[in-house]
Amino acid sequence: MEAKRTALYPEHLARGAKMVPFAGYEMPIQYDSLKEEALSVRRDCGVFDVGHMGEFLVRGPDATAFVDHLICNDFASPDVGRALYSPLLREDGTIIDDLIAYKMGAQRILICVNAANTQKDWEWMRSKQGPFNISLEDKSISFSLLALQGPRSSAVMEKMGLLSPEDPLPFFGVAEFKWRGEDVIVARTGYTGEDGFEIFSTDSSAKSLWENLLEEGVRPCGLGARDVLRIEAGLPLYGQDLRDDLTPYDSGIGWTVKMEKQSFIGQEALRNLSPQYRSLKLTLPKGIPRHGHEIFDESGHLVGRVSSGTMSVILGKGIAMAHVKRGTVESKKFLVKIRNKYYDAFVHKGSFVPRGAKK
């Protein structure tokens, strides 16, 4: 199958991006320096083309009830104009994907999913439509998506008329704006741990938004920087930290499960479940942990594996998210095996970086 391209593909080539295949798309992994890209997002702002991600539109009288039934987080409570993060579960409590659902209106909900899972999620949602009075529309091809991230993002958005200084969006807020006569959806969400925005638009708007952002001095950033930034923020990635065979309780997102709400898919299984793993964050004074590296306790027992790891650009040391078997010794220190050497790894509570995102 030929790789798909986002609307901004020619812009990436023109800026000398290194392109890689990702989830069926040819995407920019980095421009000139991954490190500088990541630092720009922490200190100023950067823009990511995430047009590969999947978008579905749910419309109709039962739209909220349908989405609330699909996901384990509580989607009935948020007001219109708010977004919610949640995993999407099977009946047995395992994770199909993680997503953000945007309540655009009482009867109109936008769902954004991982590119690699778009088809799988679409089929799942279609199969669960049953009694709900809704329509489902796959907007993945027609929607572009840009993520503007970093402390200067709100100033840039205001200048471009995509954020009202009198009525700024709250963190996880969503609203519609006009950009050069076309509708765009702006949400104060992201995947970097910084304040920032995601902009859903048509392909032609994405091109003019991109050009305008670059004129404002915003740095284009690739998926490499995005992965480092999200690990630094302790945000999970489906396929690594979140897996097909694990539940939210195994993977550090147990907080998204609202057992007390209306019935949802996976609720019964989660009620009776004893999770196998817990999720940990580790820092390594020496050595760079990578996905799949084994983790040992201080007595030399294999207790888990690194689910995501990288050199942190902002901390200048190795950081990891990990799955560790439950029932093993609670400890502040573990050892990560990297190419037959054992490196000290210390348990880290919370995000690796102070969150710049507004709450």
Q: Are strands 294-296 and 302-311 parallel, antiparallel or unpaired?
A: antiparallel
Q: Which of 5, 128, 243, 290 binds another protein (CB under 8 A)?
A: 290
User: Which stretch, 67-75, 78-86, 224-232, 262-270, contacts another protein (CB under 8 A)?
Assistant: 224-232
Q: Least separation, in Å, of the C-beta of 6 and another protein?
A: 21
Q: According to the binding rule CB under 8 A, does residue 228 interact with another protein?
A: yes
Q: Least separation, in Å, of the C-beta of 210 and another protein?
A: 23
Q: Least separation, in Å, of the C-beta of 227 and another protein?
A: 7
Query: Of 161 and 292, which has the nearer Cβ to another protein?
Result: 292
User: Which stretch, 25-33, 161-169, 177-185, 212-220, contacts another protein (CB under 8 A)?
Assistant: 25-33
Query: Of 115 and 338, which has the nearer Cβ to another protein?
Result: 338
User: Which stretch, 27-35, 48-56, 158-166, 182-190, contacts another protein (CB under 8 A)?
Assistant: 27-35
Among 208, 345, 213, 354, CA closest to 280: 345
Q: According to the binding rule CB under 8 A, does residue 30 interact with another protein?
A: yes
Query: Of 229 and 257, which has the nearer Cβ to another protein?
Result: 229
User: Which stretch, 71-79, 211-219, 283-291, 351-359, contacts another protein (CB under 8 A)?
Assistant: 283-291
Per-residue interface string for the shown chain with another protein, residues 337-356, x marking contact by CB under 8 A: --x-----------------
The whole-angstrom separation of Cα 140 and Cα 189 is 18
Cβ atoms of residues 320 and 281 within 8 Å: yes
Query: Of 29 and 134, which has the nearer Cβ to another protein?
Result: 29
What is the contact surface with another protein in residues (CB under 8 A)? Answer: 29-30, 33-35, 38, 224, 227-228, 287-288, 290, 310-311, 313, 339
